[in-house]
Amino acid sequence: MSEPAKLPLLVEVGCEEIPARFLEDAQTGFAKNLEAALREARLLGESEPSVESYSTPRRLLVRVPELLETQPDKVEEILGPPVHVGLDQNGKPTRAAESFAEKNGAKVKELRKVTTPKGEYLALKKTTRGQPAIDLLPGILTTAVTTLSFPKSMYWVGKSGPRFIRPIRWLLALLGEGKQARVVPFEIAAVKSGNQTYGNRTAGKNPITVQGLDDYSKKLRTAQVEFIPEQRLEWMMYEVKELLEGLSLRAVEDKWLEKWFVNSTEWPKPLLGQFDERFLRLPREVLVTVMRDHQKYFAVEDQQGKLQPRFVAILNRTDDSKGLIRQGHERVLAARFTDAEFFWDADQKVPLRDRREILEKVTYEAELGSYGEKIRRMRSLASLVCRLLESAGRLTPEQTKDVLESVQLSKCDLTTQMVQEFPELQGVVGGLYAGAQGENPQVADAIYDHYLPVGFEDRVPRGVVGAVVSLVDKMDSVAGGFAVGREPSGSSDPFALRRRG
């Protein structure tokens, strides 16, 4: 028996930019949808390589290296009536046997007896001829795209049209390689498939005609698109290292930011900028947060880990020959740092201890009262926990005093301008302000750490004082959430109780 013919399949969904946080799941989901449909359609052999998937912000790409050109024939054994019903006493077919054969487009003489756990039955072997892949793929591809789910999606052709994360702008679908490659015809929201794709926005708007993956790879890279995410990461980090190595500097390691850049660019290119050294008087945590969370820059440090007045932005283009992009980034960052500098100085005119009364006017949760009330609940819990730990010899009276003091000050930074502008620094700012205002280092560290851990893989508070404060904060949040009927469910966790617990 000859080996069935196989052809490569290349499919690309081109769209407006997909948000970085959704891209990996979209890539994986598209590949899973397509592979499941192809296997159900018997177009993938049992030992065939799995579907390959790639992505950039503007495209979801899948390639099937070896797709069966035609479905294998499907042979089924169809059970009919029991023998004692299908044959009379003389072994002649009854009307029941004739009806069964007619229903399945067969002749009575094709029926045979089979033994099953329930007894003997008449049966029929039915062969369904396999269809060409090119005839099956339009429906398969349409379904694979339109059933792709996202946390958020949109209509872009009216509510009667399909939903997708962003408007689809082009569809590429090729069966085969080279000049023999054929377009798989399908259509979604009036966008018809073809043999054309598009490059990076900065490399022009003209369509690019391709004849398969090899041709696609060469032409896309010429058009400033690296469609393999792992390759974008490797290339980006190599160039960042090269950019800084000559200055004996390095980027502050940040895996989350690396992934964000990879999922936000098609042709990542690092750009080195700088800022006024005067801003280095601000705490490292503040500077890095502004650069990382608000501007999406790599912070830069020397080989000893000391922060430097530089940053690395990642462009989605080849260069900035006139320096205009760099200057723009520097201006924006300077404005951000100026704000942070103002907040740092202004906030400390009102010490943390003097902010406790303000917490009475800050709502924690409508049914659970203000943050002032939360602090009182935490203090009661802390007193109980500390007594138990002291009696077990795990906590000293001095540490108990530090725990209670830390609880009193733990939420005061919520009233500061710094946290209101940079909410991701809550707790951290409180610890920094406590240290700057001469509080006990144990207390400052406990305030700094008391939101930790945020997840199972997160670090824990540095000392026992911080651990106790963190514990009672989470105990109050979890108990309060359940008390007012806000327990977490599969679709909702309003107080982030799963993380806290």
pTM as predicted = 0.85
CA distance 104 to 14: 44
Cis geometry, peptide bond prior to residue 81 (ω within 30 degrees of 0): no
Lowest mean pLDDT among 145-154, 257-266, 406-415, 483-492: 483-492
* 3 state SS for 8-51: EEEEEEEECCCCHHHHHHHHHHHHHHHHHHHHHCCCCCCCCCCC
Q: Are 224 and 234 in contact (CB under 8 A)?
A: no
Q: What local confidence, expressed as pLDDT, does residue 496 receive?
A: 58
> From CA 406, how far away is CA 441, in angstroms rounded?
10
Task: Determine the topology of domain 352-500 in CATH.
Answer: Hypothetical protein af1432 (1.10.3210)
Domain ranges within the chain, ordered by starting residue = 6-70+132-222, 74-128, 229-347, 352-500
The residue with greater pLDDT, 190 or 280, is: 280
User: With the C-alpha atoms ordered 378, 379, 381, 387, is the resulting torsion angle positive or negative?
Assistant: positive
For 182-237, write each residue's pLDDT tens digit.
999 999 999 999 999 999 998 888 999 999 999 999 999 999 999 999 999 999 99
Angle made by CA atoms 34, 40, 45, in degrees to the nearest 5: 85
Using one digit for the tens of pLDDT, what is the confidence trace for 131-140? 999 999 999 9
C-alpha to C-alpha distance for 328 and 273, rounded to whole angstroms: 10
